[in-house]
Structure 1
Amino acid sequence: MPDIPPPSPSASLDESAARKTEALDSLAAILPALAGPERTDQLVALLSEEDIATLRHLAQEGIGENSLRALTSDCSYLEGWCLAATGEPLPWPAPVPLILKFIAHHLWDPERRKTDPAHGIPEDVALALEDLKLLRKAKGGGAHRAPHAVTTVQRRLASWSTLHRWRGLQGAFSAPDVRSAMRLANRVSSRPRARKSRRAVTADLLEQLLATCNGTDYAAPSLVDLRDKALLLIGFASGGRRRSELAGLRLSQIVWEDPLPADPIDPGSLLLPAASLQLGRTKTEDASDDNAVLLIGRPVEALRTWLEAAPIVEGAVFRAIDRWGNVKARGLTPQSVNAILKSRCALAGLDPAEFSAHGLRSGFLTEAANRDIPIQDAMQQSRHRSLAQASSYYNDAGRSRHRSARMLG
């Protein structure tokens, strides 16, 4: 009987790539951001079969789409960085020295790097990451390369730790050396934390945006105007909903309530329309019966007007509209929500570069602070879990009113 030669290494690699491609295709059905041959080829080259299996498990467990997208992106980056920095695939579990190397390669002192090119990320590692399209090219060359934002490094370390847990492994991310390195790197990093939106969309700015949705002297508001007006009002009044939550809002999540008095202290005051939004799973909360926010007055009226004009009887609430005014069945994407807000800013004579959809969220809390609404009430509507995060908006809003800043006149 003739000997059967073992499969060649190249054949094994081809089979592994095929298995990874098939697994990624099924994952792309859940996460559209992974779709496309170029993105698939990149992930096949960077991720191991175990990485992809972990991500599929997370998807099946019902993790949020944005969280899964971030985990996939971070896992790809970590695999690419480790290969560039060590010549080896990412080990599981990751040893402390490797975690420390990751921190040192991404957080450094920009002033020291000007005189010591070896400080921070090695240039060959950075160039390799650029070739993999995992790192933006530095303007002016490697000497002008900036460290990563501390929040980005913290998120990637958190993702790394999460992937360890889902593999049933114990990570060393809470080791004293790692915590000390992060604390020291945070001190020397001169990169300030940037707001997701430079300016908050407070009530006065929101009114300017809404004024662009009222049609013209010669024409009534279009379907686009009605949709955008409802989107802006719901986005703000519901506590500053995230763009992913607005894009994913379904008609089944809306519960029409009995009218409520305009003044809660005076039951005899004018009755206003009301509705509840059942938020379901969000970035920070699991689906639950009490994960809902109440809408009263103008936002509810605008929402009813849009739903009747579209008309929409099921499915996505906020939908794409083609150039001929036809309302599509598909919902908006989170990116479309951002684009709509920027478009309305431009129509209102504001600089779109200073705003993003997150401005609705920061604007809600800033406006609540300006009106001296207790932070606990505002958090009940915004569904913030972190008091520290919500307080940051209150602190920013109240800074201009502090007497301590006026002691010298």
Structure 2
Amino acid sequence: MSSASPPSIERRAAELDTIASVLPMDRRDELAELLTDQDIETLRHLVNEGMGANTLRALTSDLAYLQAWSLASTGMSLPWPAPEALALKFVAHHLWDVEKRLTDPLHGMPAKVEDKLRSQGFLRSSGPHAPDTVRRRLATWSTLTKWRGFEGPFGSPALKSAIRLAVRATPRPRKRKSAKAVTGDILSRLLATCHSDSLRDDRDRAILMVAFASGGRRRSEIAGLRKEQLTQEEPIPVDGETPLPSLSIHLGRTKTSGAESDEVVYITGRPVEALDAWLTAARIESGSVFRAIDRWGNVSRRCLDPKAINDIVKQRAKLAGLEPQEFSAHGLRSGYLTEAANRGIPLPEAMEQSRHRSVQQASQYYNNAQRRSGRAARLID
């Protein structure tokens, strides 16, 4: 893959450990082999400058893919700046005509490049990439080029034209992140599968309840949650009953917050109890909250990968007798707002918890809920 010597790879792996809290460290060794010394130094600089953890994870993921693709297709790491021809090659390898591929096997990504990326886990599905994914990776490539003091070819008319024409040739129906929202009734069915006192059930129960109750948190936020972000709050009084436990979660800077914002959300009652039960059972006093569990029941020291949150939702859906392909981790986010709308919670109040910044985006869930239950949808009932 890379011409770097083993000691060089080990050194880069050790350097990556210094910024482990904001990187997908389940792929640390792979990143150490793919990324160059300059790449890692750039990432370390961004950590020190305070770039948001989620943004940095996405950037690192894109950079690793770009380096893997460059090595597979040219035999070399990405050059800085990249020539226009290489950027055009990237477009040609990722946006192509499915029909033409049937008659021309050389059209699109070469088989040897595809096989290499698939063996490394960078390709999972067949067919051309989503245009938005290609644009995002090109934007990451452009940003990293500028940080190195170069301009690059990313604003060239030829590249813009190539992308526009390629998108026309690769029609893809837009897919929702989760076909179905995980509303309260669905969540209850998922939680019912976590009925034992096993560590795995304790963890998954806490993940589902905390992710939903905290406003439908993104899977990266749940996977990266650390004990240091949790603060016990004063219990909430309830007339004639035991006060409810309360917890604040300090999200720091998120995808939608400002540069200086420390986003905070609150959970109360059963989600707090579920989280406490998991932390106690797993003996977690610091560091990552949600961790992998091996086949022997040993709890890892490292956090779950965000993809694992998605897998947990699908696995629990299957155990609940639901179609797993219809649900994903994003369903917890859309489900929170949909459930809030169904219960008549005012949109601004729900947005305070979900931390949506766009009223237009958040109101879609409310509008859909109101349309389903409104008179216009029940002219014949």
Q: TM-score, normalised by structure 2?
A: 0.75
Contact 2:251–2:262 (Cα < 8 Å) also in 1: no
Q: Residue 186 of structure 2 aligns to which amino acid in structure 1?
A: L
Rg (Cα) greater in structure: 1
Between the aligned partners of 1:80 and 1:231, the Cα distance in structure 2 is 32
2:113 maps to 128
Tell me which residue corresponds to 1:103.
91
Matched, 1:359 2:331: yes
- Post-superposition shift, 1:171? 4.0
Cα distance in structure 1, aligned partners of 2:99 and 2:15:
43
Pair 1:379-2:351 in alignment? yes
Structure 1 residue 295: Cα displacement: 1.6
What secondary structure is seen at the aligned counterpart in 2 of 1:275?
Answer: strand
Structure 1 residues 233-257: Cα deviation after superposition (integer angstroms, max 9, x where no partner): 1110101123332233333322222
Q: What amino acid is aligned across from residue 204 of structure 2 in structure 1? A: D
> 1:4-403 counterparts in 2 under 5 A?
17=5, 20-29=8-17, 30=20, 31=23, 32-36=25-29, 39=30, 43=34, 47-63=35-51, 67-79=55-67, 81-82=69-70, 90-96=78-84, 98-114=86-102, 120-121=107-108, 125-131=110-116, 133=119, 136=123, 146-175=127-156, 178-179=159-160, 181-215=162-196, 221-222=197-198, 224-260=200-236, 272-285=244-257, 290-307=262-279, 312-319=284-291, 328=299, 330=301, 332-334=303-305, 335-387=307-359, 389-390=361-362, 393-394=365-366, 400=372
Structure 2 CA distance, aligned partners of 1:338 and 1:401?
A: 30
Kept in 2: contact 1:273–1:296 (CA 8 A): yes
**Structure 1 position 277, deviation (Å):** 1.0
Deviation at 1:60, TM superposition (A): 4.6
Gaps of 5+ in 1: 1-12, 139-144, 216-220
Q: Judging changes above 3 Å, is the alpha-carbon distance between structure 1 residues 182 and 372 closer, same or farther for their aligned structure 2 residues?
A: farther
In 2, Cα distance between the equivalents of 1:315 and 1:49? 27
C-alpha distance after superposition, 1:309-339 (max 9, x if no partner) = 666554444455677777x473551354444
Structure 1 range deviating more: 238-247 or 47-56: 47-56
Residues 213/400 of structure 1: CA separation in 2 closer, same or farther (3 Å cut): same
State the superposition RMSD in angstroms: 4.2
1:155 Cα deviation from its structure 2 partner: 2.0
The answer on whether the counterparts of 2:351 and 2:357 sit within 8 Å (CA) in structure 1 is: yes
Give the number of equivalent residue pairs.
Answer: 372
Residues 182-228 of structure 1 show CA distances to partners (whole Å, capped at 9, x for unaligned) of: 4454444322233444432111111112223344xxxxx45544443
Counterpart residue type for residue 355 of structure 1: F
Shift of 1:153: 0.6
Change over 3 Å in CA distance of 1:276–1:42 after alignment to 2: closer
8 Å CA contact retained: 2:12, 2:32: no
Q: How far has the Cα of 1:291 moved from its partner?
A: 0.8
- The residue type equivalent to 2:133 in the other structure is T
Whether the 8 Å CA contact 1:247–1:331 is kept in 2: the answer is: no
How far, CA to CA, are the matches of 2:362 and 2:335 in structure 1?
11
AA matched with 2:28: A
Contact 1:243–1:357 (8 Å) recurs in 2: yes
